[in-house]
A = this chain, B = another copy of it.
Amino acid sequence: MELENALQQLEALQKRMYAYAYAESAIYLDNLTVAPKDTSEGRGVAVGILSGEEHKFFTAPEVGQMLDCLDEHKDELSPMVRRQAEDLRRQYERTKKVPADEFMQYAMLTNQASDVWHRAKEASDFEMFRPVLEKLVAFSRKFAGYYDSEKDPYDVLLDQYEPGLTKEYLDKFFGKVREKLVPVIHAVGQAEQIDNSFLQKEYPVETQRRFSDYLMEVMGLDRGHCTIGDTKYNDHDLASSMYSVIHESGHALYELGVADELQYTNLTHMAMSIHESQSRFFENLIGRSLPFVQAIFPKTQEFFPEQLKGVTAEQFYRAVNRAEPSLIRTEADELTYCLHIMVRYEIEKQLIGGTLQVKDVPAEWNRLYKEYLGVDVPDDKRGCLQDSHWSGGSFGYFPSYALGSAYGAQMLRNMEKEIDVWGPVAKGDLSKVTAWLREKVHRHGSYLKPAEIVKNACGEFDPEVFTDYLTEKYSKLYDL
């Protein structure tokens, strides 16, 4: 094959993959938001067929020939094209090991599983979900074996979300987190608790919607390219939607900040830990900082004058940072959040490793929540059925949240050395922060590998920067 031809094929293939991903995400978004509950069968058939098509054209021999040709001409390629080819090669070698019919079955299964999980969660009945989860675990173990039968299957799955990530690395990371943070959590538990009762007053959903628009404006989001769904308002909890909006805006800024030249290529698929570093950066490091809260508090009070009457910015700051062991990950505070992730990590590791049976997940979940967080799990709904990830077949994703948090803390420390972070933030101006992240992280997409981006933005990764940050923040908050 001639190089020119191969380059054309490379571009066409990536565009084609983009189109399928676009279709799948439109279907997924519909499913997540407005699709009626009994429509999963028809959707499953469609998704299964589209996945099968994608698998078929991506694993066609011509793709291998094209990649071979690009490999032969490696030195003539621009760095950008070389990375595209390298990345596709990795995915190609992996994907072609999975038989097309299994790939389709799996796509149909995850679609169905989402529906089953929703119902099981509603009924708080793990047994409803168990058979499907068993199939999902079996598929994941099997696929991991296809991808690389020599490696530990959980390592293989981790590598999907962040190339190079391993159990060994995570065991060390979580070991450090546990060692450093558990004593802080314990001390916080003994200290006088922060009052956050005003956050639980009645906050009308319609006003929260308008408040969300305001927050997206503060975040500097281009609304011409960014909308907001309407699924997660609690009319007696202001912080929940507020920090969800800031979190998701962090993801959106990342996606929108990818360099234009990467559009329609596979280098727009960023590692999940880096993605979470951006969302959690804005949610916690910025969003739950005193300068940020001081900046937006007057406006917040305008939205909710009755509910926040007599409350000061400082009190609001303390309330949104109240820490306490709890049951629900998405509502967890910044301090205890990583322990929620550790529970999931331990369970996934054992499920994929084959040392834990699916039927024993609820008991193990409840045991670990007691051990790590000291809480009793009253039912599966608030226990092992709370997250959607496993129903989507995502085993190995959860650690990204914890890693992302830790990466973020180190990015902030570096950022503080290079620019004035808090002056502008205290005025509600996030543009400097975003510009720094765009330069170091966003624009690169996955042209840089996760480890390179971490190096770029964090320097040498050191989990203690993260644990120190939290220790210091919570020592002040709780006067430890």
Contact = CB atoms under 8 A, between A and B. Distances in A.
Contact of A227 (B16, B18, B36, B229): B36
Interface string A331-343: 0000000000000
A49 B224 contact: no
Contacts of A229: 34
B42 A22 contact: yes
Contacts of A223: 36
Nearest to A30: B26
Contacts of A27: 22-23, 26
Contact of A36 (B18, B46, B206, B225): B225
A19 interface: yes
Contacts of A227: 34-36
A229 B26 CA distance: 16
A62 interface: no
Contacts of A49: 15-16, 18-19
A39 interface: yes
Interface in A223-237: 223-227, 229
Number of chain A interface residues as a range: 35 or more
Nearest to A41: B263
A475 to B, nearest CB: 42
A34 B34 CA distance: 11
Contact of A50 (B23, B36, B224): B23
A22 B36 contact: no
A38 interface: yes
Contact of A18 (B23, B35, B46): B46
A29 interface: yes
A27 B50 CA distance: 14
A15 B45 contact: yes
Contact of A43 (B22, B42, B47): B22
Contacts of A24: 23
A468 interface: no
A50 B227 CA distance: 24
B226 A36 contact: yes
Contacts of A304: none
A296 to B, nearest CB: 23
A222 interface: yes
Contact of A45 (B19, B35, B37): B19
Interface string A207-241: 00000000000000011111101000000000000
B30 A224 contact: no
A139 interface: no
Interface in A1-32: 15-16, 18-20, 22-24, 26-27, 29-30
A15 B47 CA distance: 11
A264 interface: yes
A368 B20 CA distance: 45
Interface string A149-170: 0000000000000000000000
A45 B26 CA distance: 14
Given A39-B225, A225-B39, A46 B34 contact: no
A38 B50 CA distance: 27
A19 B50 contact: yes
Interface string A381-395: 000000000000000
A315 to B, nearest CB: 32
A263 B49 CA distance: 15
A227 B32 CA distance: 13
A45 B224 contact: no
Which of A23, A38, A53, A263: most chain B CB closer than 10 A?
A: A23
16 contacts: A16-B49, A16-B53, A18-B49, A19-B45, A19-B48, A19-B50, A23-B24, A26-B27, A30-B30, A36-B223, A36-B226, A37-B224, A38-B222, A42-B263, A53-B53, A206-B206
Given A19-B50, A26-B29, A39-B224, 10 more contacts: A15-B45, A15-B49, A16-B53, A19-B45, A22-B46, A23-B26, A38-B225, A39-B225, A45-B264, A53-B53
Interface of A: 15-16, 18-20, 22-24, 26-27, 29-30, 33-39, 42-43, 45-50, 53, 206, 222-227, 229, 263-264
Give the 10 A-B residue pairs with the shortest CB-CB distance, closest first.
Answer: A38-B224, A22-B46, A19-B49, A23-B23, A26-B26, A19-B46, A26-B27, A36-B227, A26-B30, A34-B227
